[in-house]
Amino acid sequence: MARALPPEWEVEVFFANDGLEGLEVIRQGNGEVVFLDLTMPNLDGYGVLETIRKEDLPAMVIVVSGDIQPDAQTRVKNMGAMAFIKKPIDAEKARAILTEYGIMAGGADDH
Amino acid sequence: MITERVSLTEDQRDCYQEIVNVAMGQAADRLARLLDAYVVLPIPQVNLIEANDLHMAIQGAEDNHAISSVCQGFIGSGIAGEALLLFNDTSFEDLATLMNYSGPLNRYGELELLMDVSSVLIGACIQGIGDQLGIHFNQGHPVVLGQHCQVADIVKSGNHQWNKTLAIEIHYTLEHVNIDCNLLLLFTEDSVAKLNNKIDYLLD
């Protein structure tokens, strides 16, 4: 994922191994923009989205998943995800989404 | 037979998991569209195991529920393996409903449903892995290994030609309905080194 990010995008990148770790990073304020996988141990992406909404955490979530079922995309958007990127990640698509939502200007990032 | 020592680093395992994650997602998407249902995707298990320990590696293999099983070989770029679908027999009723199957649900009816599901899950998964690694896999004909039998009957046949196998296990379930099956991808010992080379190339 990190390699698919535009190299000129000046952000600090934090990595989390699972959903619980990811939430910690977000709670610490280090997940302004979150690239969220759905299939994860301990707490999956749906659980993360639910918690972000419940706790009203400050995170713009872009789901990055191999789960390309139409239902998965609808669900995560209904749960507050801003965009959906299919795996394997196309660096150009990632750039297009970051530009489209105007978040390339800056911000921290996680996963 | 050449038997150089095969091994698997953590990075390689992660990479296999990512590749399988994408491939199983593509397979799930096909199944979801076929059945108009949502497929719950698990974390794929990737392990290098002794072929004789295979039955222990299979999730839920110790449960004594009856299964039906299909296998299908695949080969390409010097890499060969076998895909094994273990389908829980209690799943046929709901599967028949979702497939709008109106015939009698006897052995033959079940077989028809089993073949439909296995061709989608096995075909899409093998192709998905091959696409990512730049391998064109040719698939053999599917073979029914058994109906209404135990996991142990299927995998404990002994007489293995290889010692180690790279085993990838994907446990598919469907939401709201009782359908579950295990898809096992087993790569021959000789294939693992070649696969690892391709994986290392992606990791670079």
Once rounded to an integer, what is the mean pLDDT over residues B143-157?
A: 85
Once rounded to an integer, what is the mean pLDDT over residues B118-144?
A: 96
Residues, chain B: 204
* CATH number of the domain within which B129 lies: 3.40.1550.10
Q: Which helix (H) or strand (E) holds A110?
A: strand A109-110
Residues A83-99: tens digit of each pLDDT: 999 998 999 999 999 99
Asked if A88 lies within 8 A of B21 by C-beta distance, the reply is no
DSSP chain B: ---PPP---HHHHHHHHHHHHHHHHHHHHHHHHHHTSPEEP-PPEEEEEEGGGHHHHSTTTTS---EEEEEEEEEETTEEEEEEEEEEGGGHHHHHHHTT--S--SHHHHHHHHHHHHHHHHHHHHHHHHHHHT---EE---EEEEEEE-HHHHH-----S-SEEEEEEEEEEESSS--EEEEEEEE-HHHHHHHHHHHHHHH-
Asked if B41 lies within 8 A of A38 by C-beta distance, the reply is yes
Within-domain flag for B152: yes
Longest dimension (CA), chain B: 54
**C-alpha Rg value of chain B to the nearest Å:** 17
CB of A4 closer than 8 Å to CB of A90: yes
Going from N- to C-terminal start, the domains of chain A cover: 12-105
Q: How many domains in chain B?
A: 1
- Which residues in chain A are closer than 8 Å to B18, comparing Cβ atoms? 66, 87
Within-domain flag for B183: yes
Q: Of A41, A67, A87, which is closest to B28 when you measure between CB atoms? A: A67
Residues A64-75: tens digit of each pLDDT: 999 999 999 999
Q: Which of A107, A79, A84, A108 is nearest to A94 (CA)?
A: A84
- Which residues in chain B are closer than 8 Å to A69, comparing Cβ atoms? 25, 28-29, 32, 38-39
- The residue range of the domain holding B137 is 10-203
**How many beta carbons lie within 10 A of that of residue B78, not counting itself?**
11
3-state secondary structure of A85: strand
- Which residues in chain A are closer than 8 Å to B21, comparing Cβ atoms? 39, 66, 87
The answer to whether residue B62 scores a pLDDT higher than 70 is no
Q: What are phi and psi of B27, to 5 degrees?
A: -65, -40
Asked if A66 lies within 8 A of B25 by C-beta distance, the reply is yes
Once rounded to an integer, what is the mean pLDDT over residues B104-126?
A: 95
Per DSSP bridges, beta strands A109-110 and A13-14 are: parallel
The answer to whether residue A107 scores a pLDDT higher than 50 is no
- The topology under which CATH files domain A12-105 is Rossmann fold (3.40.50)
Can you tell me the distance from the alpha carbon of B137 to that of B124, in angstroms, rounded to the nearest whole number?
A: 11
